[in-house]
Amino acid sequence: MMLKFTDLLKYCGIFVLILLFYQGCKPSKTKKTFSYDPSGYWWQLLSFNTETNAYKPNQTAWINANFKTQNDSVFYDSEHDLRDRFFIKIDSLATDNCLKHLISKASAGDSICALIKTNLFFKQQFNTDVPYFSKGDSVVKINLKIKGILNAQGYKTITENIINNETKEIETFFGSVKDYETARDSLGFFWVERPPGINAAKASYGDVVTLSYEGSFLSGRIVDSSPQNFQINYGTPDQLIKGLNYVISKLKMGQNSKIILPSHLAFGENGSSNGSIPPYTPMLYKIRIIDIKKNVSN
């Protein structure tokens, strides 16, 4: 059967449309759209602000960021997970952190897409092995928006505002300034529930203390908890955050308490190393002293 010329043109047109559609859906090769940096990442500037200058040394970038798997599933968002408190010290010579190096290429107002090798990303950003949801991924996808690039004074001003808001957040939890002041302990934390007999015998330096604790934001969202049958050598540095050590000094075996730790007694200006707790975040803790084994040398 012979095709008419008009039919041939029609079929050719359909074929061209299918071909174009197929080409449009094919994933583009990274090297054509992204620049590779020997530090271990690929990056692409999506939009930029021509009215701002690039960073200068000793500055800090204030960033909105989300991290995604290769299937575009978002597993971390700085506005939600870090309460919009994602700050990175900029360093164009950084070899230990791809994001620090990447931000040095940007200016305030820029948007960047980056691909960082999966193992490298989780080691640098969360100090952890690759989690189950990224096990099959070769890279982590990152979208960044540079909200601002701050000099030392600008960063100080923003953090002072955050700290002032932290105080108001704790006051709001207690309902009044009077109750806030009444709950404040001389060591700087706040009693939500005081155990009876606080002045009884307590742990001494070198005692083995078995305890359990659960930490949450003031909203009630749980973000920290102790391992089962968790033990510490009381007085040894870096086993617990500072505020929990303070509370243990006030408790005896079998006692429970609930307290609020301001950020300087919790995870401070950097937040937790695994990214679950933002900078300058007050924490609500339930803590129980299960057992105290006295140090016989005391």
Do 30-150 and 165-293 show the same overall fold? yes
Domain 30-150, architecture per CATH: Roll (3.10)
pLDDT tens string 9-54? 444 444 443 444 344 334 444 445 889 998 889 999 887 766 555 5
Three-state DSSP class for residue 225: strand
**Taking a C-beta distance cutoff of 8 angstroms, is the pair 244, 213 a contact?**
yes
Kindly tell me the sign of the dihedral angle through the C-alpha atoms of 238, 241, 244, 250. positive
Kindly tell me the sign of the dihedral angle through the C-alpha atoms of 198, 220, 171, 169. positive
Report the C-alpha gap between 102 and 140 in whole angstroms.
14
Looking at residues 273-291, what average pLDDT do you find? 90
pLDDT tens string 176-235? 999 999 999 999 999 999 887 655 567 888 889 999 999 999 989 899 999 988 999 988
User: What are the boundaries of each domain within the chain?
Assistant: 30-150, 165-293
Q: Note the CATH number of domain 165-293.
A: 3.10.50.40
